[in-house]
Amino acid sequence: MAGVPPLCDFGWKAIDATLPGVDGKDTRLFDQVGPGGLLIAFICNHCPYVKAIAPRLTRDAADLAALGVNVVAINSNDAVNYPEDSFDNMKAFAAQHGFAFPYLYDEDQSVARAYDAVCTPDFFGFNKDLELQYRGRLDASRAQPGPADARRDLYEAMKQVAQTGAGPAEQFASMGCTIKWKDAA
């Protein structure tokens, strides 16, 4: 089932957390903010929307790092009912796509809930003061890879955030598979 998150709530403050990463280290979100900001991407391994954008996410993360914007990806999906999203499979997915940024596991789903993440991918772009300035799509592609010349919505927005501290007024919602929530006990 596809989910569409709300657009940007400008100025909403990021929430800190420490999560285990596929690199074997625990990573604190607030330690990852760069001089140009921080992009937090809720993704997973099995979603066709994420699979379609993964190579461009890797490209955009490298280009954003050059602008001082660091990227962190978080998988919050229920790995019991969706074993393709297990921590071991996260390691393989990160290696397959050449992730040079932390890919973190939110096993208890508390971070996704704190952020009100809706789908994979769901992007939260913060300025250096950790104020939300972008909540939109990577580009116009959906569950199929977009054309090579697709406008880089996320990159352009975060470039603006890095340069000015503020995101664009016009943003287009991301779309993806809904977060796979664990059954309430």
What are 8-37's pLDDT values in tens digits? 899 999 999 999 999 999 999 999 999 999
Please indicate, yes or no, if residue 25 is contained in any of the structural domains: no
Q: Say if residues 134 and 158 touch (Cβ distance below 8 Å).
A: yes
Please indicate, yes or no, if residue 170 is contained in any of the structural domains: yes
The Cα 55–Cα 141 span in angstroms is 12
Q: Which residue has the higher pLDDT, 100 or 2?
A: 100
Please indicate, yes or no, if residue 174 is contained in any of the structural domains: yes
Please indicate, yes or no, if residue 92 is contained in any of the structural domains: yes
Looking up tokens 């287009």, which residue turns up? 172
Domain that holds residue 104: 2-13+54-178
| Alpha-helical segments (H) within the chain | 48-65, 87-96, 110-115, 153-164
Please indicate, yes or no, if residue 148 is contained in any of the structural domains: yes
Per DSSP, which regions of 15-148 are E strands?
A: 18-20, 26-28, 37-42, 69-75, 103-105, 119-120, 122-126, 132-134
Amino acid of residue 78 = D
Please indicate, yes or no, if residue 48 is contained in any of the structural domains: no
- Which pTM does this prediction carry? 0.95
Place 141 in a pLDDT band, splitting at 50, 70 and 90.
confident
Enter the tokens of residue 28. Answer: 């604190």
The Cα 54–Cα 175 span in angstroms is 14
Q: Say if residues 45 and 130 touch (Cβ distance below 8 Å).
A: no
Structure confidence at residue 1 (pLDDT): 59
The Cα 135–Cα 41 span in angstroms is 10
Domains: count for the chain: 1
Structure confidence at residue 185 (pLDDT): 46
Please indicate, yes or no, if residue 29 is contained in any of the structural domains: no
Domain holding 58: CATH number?
Answer: 3.40.30.10
Closest to 177 (Cα-Cα) out of 106, 76, 103, 105:
76
Summarised one tens digit per residue, pLDDT across range 44-72 is 999 999 999 999 999 999 999 999 999 99
Structure confidence at residue 2 (pLDDT): 67
Structure confidence at residue 7 (pLDDT): 81
Please indicate, yes or no, if residue 42 is contained in any of the structural domains: no
Summarised one tens digit per residue, pLDDT across range 73-100 is 999 999 999 999 999 999 999 999 999 9
Summarised one tens digit per residue, pLDDT across range 109-128 is 999 999 999 999 999 999 99
